[in-house]
């Protein structure tokens, strides 16, 4: 009888502890960060006069867009790096450029934002981290574009995939949003396995926007 009473007491204590643990445990927080893949344009770049960079390739670029549902704005649809060639004239030589066209959808009035694009080669190696900050007031869907000069033909030839996302935003109310870097890195390394989290920051020698 005594053993039975002891067993009942122990069972009650275990049940109470289990119930308390269940009550106080914090629910897992669902991530607001996601990534979408788009098929980009051909890796062939037309240089004119029937000359083409990567002319024998059938590959098309891969564009990845990372979105945060908690951000004040989001990239609407695809956004990815194209490689174009701008012919020179008698005062300047021709140049290769990264070109990115994108549309932003604000959830509230915006006064400034920063976009980042990581350019990768066909093996997932980071070539460049592009960055652009725009001071621009808008409260409805707005299209933007950016071009960055490419330093060498090798970089122009090797550019294959890109990952774009909004890194910082300032709203009309003065609120400053900054993306969760660790969460972005978790997404980026799915397609850039040779990247480190520190690479998310543009280097001092980062290509300048044209």
Tens of pLDDT, residue by residue over 159-198, are: 999 999 999 999 999 999 999 999 999 999 999 877 888 8
Alpha-carbon distance values, 53 to 96, 104, 156, 166, 210 (Å): 11, 31, 8, 30, 22
Low-confidence ranges of the chain (pLDDT < 50): 4, 6-10, 12-14, 17, 21-29, 205
**Residue 104 placed within a domain:** yes
The pLDDT, as a whole number, for residue 9 is 45
**Residue 143 placed within a domain:** yes
**Residue 6 placed within a domain:** no
Residue pair 61/157 in contact (Cβ under 8 Å)? The answer is no
Instruction: Provide the pairing of β-strand 161-171 with 60-68.
Output: parallel
**Residue 64 placed within a domain:** yes
**Residue 23 placed within a domain:** no
**Residue 165 placed within a domain:** yes
Domain that holds residue 121: 33-200
**Residue 4 placed within a domain:** no
Q: How many domains does the chain have?
A: 1
**Residue 159 placed within a domain:** yes
The pLDDT, as a whole number, for residue 65 is 98
By three-state DSSP, how is residue 8 classified? helix
Specify the pTM: 0.81
The pLDDT, as a whole number, for residue 48 is 83
Task: Give the CATH number for residue 105.
Answer: 2.70.50
Residue pair 68/180 in contact (Cβ under 8 Å)? The answer is yes
Dist CA 170 CA 177 (whole Å) = 6
Residue pair 63/37 in contact (Cβ under 8 Å)? The answer is yes
């Amino acid at each position: 009888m005594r053993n039975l009473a002891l067993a009942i007491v122990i069972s009650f204590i275990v049940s109470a502890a289990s119930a308390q643990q269940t009550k106080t445990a914090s629910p897992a927080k669902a991530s607001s960060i996601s990534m979408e893949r788009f098929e980009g344009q051909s890796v062939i770049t037309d240089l004119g006069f029937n000359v083409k960079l990567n002319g024998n390739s059938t590959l098309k670029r891969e564009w990845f867009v990372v979105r945060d549902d908690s951000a004040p704005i989001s990239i609407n649809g695809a956004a990815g790096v194209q490689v174009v060639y701008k012919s020179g004239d008698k005062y300047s030589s021709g140049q290769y450029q990264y070109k990115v066209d994108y549309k932003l959808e604000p959830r509230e009035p915006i006064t400034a934002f920063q976009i980042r694009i990581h350019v990768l080669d066909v093996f997932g190696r980071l070539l460049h981290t592009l960055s652009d900050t725009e001071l621009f007031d808008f409260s409805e869907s707005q299209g933007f574009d950016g071009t960055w000069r490419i330093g060498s033909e090798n970089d122009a030839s090797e550019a294959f995939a890109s990952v774009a996302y909004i890194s910082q935003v300032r709203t009309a109310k003065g609120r400053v949003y900054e993306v969760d870097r660790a969460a972005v890195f978790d997404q980026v390394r799915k397609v850039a396995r040779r990247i480190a989290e520190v690479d998310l920051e543009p280097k001092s020698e980062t290509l300048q926007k044209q």
